[in-house]
Structure formats: structure tokens, C-alpha cells
Amino acid sequence: MAKELDTLRAKIDAIDIELLRLINERAAIAIEVGEVKRSSGDDAVFYRPEREAEILRRVLAQNPGPLPGAEAARLMREIMSACLGLEHPLRVAYLGPEGTYTHLAALKHFGGSITGIGVVSIDEVMREVAADGAHYGVVPVENSLEGGINQTLDALRESPLKICGEVVLNIHHQLLSVAAKIEDIKRIYAHPQALAQCRRWLATNLPGIECLPSSSNGEAARKVRDEADAAAIAGEVAARLYGLTILRKNIEDQPGNTTRFVVVGVKSPPPSGRDVTSLMFTTANRPGALYEIVSIFAAENISMTRIESRPLRREAWDYVFFVDIEGHADVANIRNTLALVEEKTSSLKILGSYPRAAF
């Protein structure tokens, strides 16, 4: 057996050396790409979401196994991130501090070779990108249990930034504390969305416990480091970052809890072949106004994957609608359809067209 293991390990060692050579060869080409782009002028685009989406889809489609497709794509993401870091390092703002789900979404989308900038609010993420303090920002936009994130929808409505990517993250909430047992807990900190997603579990297992809202789950975890009788709802990464004990695992009310995040930047990328367009519009307050717009998409055989309304805050019972459709706004049939929609709306804003999340 020892001889057989030595033979197999020798094969692995040889493959590792070849992998290292190929990855460095790829990195050297990435540096050359960066030099070519810089020579074209100050408006050179280094990060190409549509190009990365194309690569990841190809990995998923052509992966022969036994490595799972998502794991193969994750490894390729990290290779691309490291190569882009040599070509042109990215600064990415997210709802911080470290250990939030938004931080994890940023790492999933961009890889670990970015310079992360954790800020205290969704509005601050937008401001950081608009002021060129970050190349891109990541914000949560909707949860499978609680629906749209109102702060993000309002910020997108008012911001000149464009959506240029999306990330989908499975959310598993952990009850974290420095306390040794759950009976010692007298209060819980968490983002309001996390509290809502664990509402039934908290009512059953910690009835009457004070629940205090926090700006983020990462901030909640950081706060309870210094409070022996408090707990936070956050992810496993936050437990490791802040030295907390996981008192209870996976306390979300629904096991399929998923949050969708969007990446915001100065402009949307070109079509990738499998895209989403996000838009918002207002209509006249009259019977059938929304039906007329929805009928346009149906007549043009364009799928609406999401629709949500928010109060417009101009006067009572006035609403703005947020819609996602399949396709890119620069493609002819989508462009022509949106022109028809604009004729039926009081106002129409394209929030961005971007590649559908690859994995």
C-alpha cells in the first residue's frame, strides 16, 4: 500500500508543478493585457463582467468531473481574480464590516484578490463608488423569504450608478456569542432582515428575549465580543473573524433562505448572451395602467423574472415599480420593447443590464 500511495503522490506532485506553470503563464498574459489596455488611454476597462461570465459558464458546461461544477467555477474565479489583481487591482465597497453576507457575496463574485472596503450603510456603498473611492460596490437587493431590500431599491432609484452584475448566496444564520450556553443570553443583535428570517426560531427557542437591530450582521458579531450575555445572528465566517462560539447552527426559519446581491458601477457591461435587465417605472394612477405594460412584455415574448412596488413618497398611494426582465437593453428586441414601454409610463429608468449569475 505504501508503494502505491507513493506512486499516486508523485503523480499529484507532478500535476501541481504543471498547474503552477500554467497559472503563472496565464498571469503573465494578463499582465500583457493590462499593458495593452493602458496604452489605449485613461478610459481603458480592465474588469469585464461579460467576459468573466462567459469563462465561468464554459467551465460549468465543460467540467468533466469528478470535481463538482460549482467548485470548479469557484477555483477558476480565484485564478481570474489573482490575474486581474496583477493587471489592475479592484477596490470593491460592501456593507461591512468583514464577515457580513455582503462581504461574502463580494468575495464570491470578485474573488479574494480585491481590496475590500467595508462601509456602514447601503447609501455609503453607493457614495463610495460614485466618488471613485471604489471601482464597484455590492449591495443586497432581495431575499427569498422577506422580499426586496427597501434601502437598496430606494438607493438604486436615486443613484446615477448602474447594476453590472449579480450574486446569489445561500444564507445560513448562526447564533453567535462569547457565552458558553444559550441560557446565558439576554439580548440578540442582528440586521433587521436576519431577525425577520429567524422570527419563528427565536419565538420558539428564545421567547421574550430582546432583539436589537444592527446596521449589519457583521457589526452585530463584532459588538457581542464585549458583551458576555448577548448573542448575534451572523454567518460562520463572522464567528471565526470575531472569536465567537456558535451556540446554535442554521437557525433560519426556511432552509432554502437565499439572498440576491447586485454589483453597482459607473456603467453596465455589453451583452454576454445570458443577461438580465433591471428597470424601474411609474405609471398614471388609472385602471389597467400596469396591465398595459406587462402586456407589452408578454406580447414580445420577454420573461419578467421579478416585479415589486415601492411607495414613491410624492403623495399617498403613488408607487414605483421595479422589474427584472431576461435580456440585455442593447439587444434589438429588448431595446425596441423598452421604447414601447416608455410610451406607456410616466417615467422609465434602466437600472442596468448585466450577466445572469453563473453559479
C-alpha cell at 161: 450608478
Q: What distances in angstroms separate CA 7 from CA 1, 66, 236, one per listed residue?
A: 10, 20, 38
CB-based contact 100:171 (threshold 8 Å): no
Told to judge if 110 belongs to the known catalytic residues of this protein, a careful annotator would answer no
String of DSSP letters for 333-356: HHHHHHHHHHHHSSEEEEEEEEEP
Please report, as a single letter, which amino acid is at residue 132: D
* In the block, residue with C-alpha cell 463574485: 109
C-alpha cell at 302: 420577454
CB atoms within 10 A of CB 61: 8
Which of the residues 259, 277, 337, 345 is marked catalytic? 259
Which of the residues 110, 261, 297, 321 is marked catalytic? 261
113 burial level (CB within 10 Å; 0-12, 13-18, 19+): middle
Told to judge if 261 belongs to the known catalytic residues of this protein, a careful annotator would answer yes
Active site residues: 259, 261
